[in-house]
Structure 1
Amino acid sequence: MRDADDNRSNTAPAHVAIIMDGNGRWAKARGLPRTAGHKKGVDAVRRTVEAARELGIGTLTIFSFSSENWRRPEEEISDLMGLLRFYLRSEVAELHRAGIRLRVIGDRNRLSDDINRLIDNAEGLTRDNRVMTLVVALSYGSRLEIVHAARRLAEEAAAGRLSPDAIDEDALSARLYTADIPDPDLIIRTSGEKRISNFLLWQAAYAELVFVDTLWPDFTKRDLEAAIEEFHRRERRFGATTAGSR
């Protein structure tokens, strides 16, 4: 007979979020331009989406381009936007066939019109899919997201549509980009860096953090499984204590 821990260890986290890091270092180690690392990183996204679906993960969020990334050299940004266009044109039909819903979160005002149209089309096509949700954090920064949510609350209160007494955690959460997305259970960062870099700061309040040395282009299903195994070794108390703990 299986015990409760055995059953828990076979259950995938409902929401896994990944900070994809290491494309540049992967390319540098091979004497290749950074673009080559980013292209290999797209292959890793494809592998990881498929692995997440096979493992029964309900929501997978990937941090693809941060609000700070706009400070990178113009040529590199152009290459990244080109890869984004390629992904949205070449992969969305496959996501749809697999029953995967695509959601893009972030400040889309800085994206070009054609990319926004591709995003709108992809989200519309996959809106009713229920096998898994793939969330792409694009032009995303968590502090800016929280500022935007706070501004909306302030505007609604000033207009008399919202009582200041009604502003609580739920009210702010409902105005974040992720209002219709569950908070992450597990956040993985690749490449050995141990920080979350302005990613899902509000939503990650009780997430488990797992840092792996693997560079993102080399990330495989086995790496994802290992992170999930580490997740299941953790005791999640959500701020509460258990007997004998402090």
Structure 2
Amino acid sequence: MSEQRGGEPGAKAEHDEREAAKARALAWDQLVATARRTVSDGLVVGTSGNVSVRVGDTVLVTPTGVPYDRLSADDITGVALDGRQVLGALLPTSELPMHLAVYRATDARAVVHTHAVHATAVSTLVEELPPIHYLSGALGGAVRVAPYATYGSQELAENMLRALSGRTACLLRNHGTLSYGDTLDRAYDRTAQLEWMCRLWLTASSIPGLTPSLLTEEQMADAALKLRGYGQGR
């Protein structure tokens, strides 16, 4: 009887690890698919941009300098929340400080960073994206621009966190975008919405002699409230 009781914890630990490995493998497949989508949708070029997803206390991230179409199940790359690499042989993205900063400061389960052209253009022009569309409410309000800092630096991660306060997406000056969500799909959708709104504002602002109308704070607040119930509620 005592031997059986002694063996149960070991068997449970093995079972739990198998389940955790399955969860990481599934999350990695979804991460790679999302990273490839950023390329096919024109949000990044080459190996620019990066994607991560949190599984338990492990953060799976795209490796640095590897084309997404070459990633396979064997390339899984993961780090602990303190930045220690715990999975894989490939080096994680150089923007790891930004990703980890988001996970430490929010309830994020996924982060998407891109170099989307319209959003990056807007980041060079204003301090925040003017509220040209109610979808800003889905991101928490007017999208702020984080001050420029060298890519991969702790300074950039700190600037980004300040711009993200109360938001789920921000612009990075002369750099790109960052968004997060409770799933990879939501993080990606927020990135795509932000790029679309930036393109919309640039298009409307380009008409000589005309200035685009903008939403008021009250209109934005009403939209944000209504958007909380948007979708199928699952």
In the superposition, the TM-score normalised over structure 2's length comes to 0.32
**Structure number, greater radius of gyration:** 2
TM score, norm. by length of structure 1: 0.31
Which has the higher relative contact order, 1 or 2, with Cα contacts under 8 A spaced 6 or more apart? 1
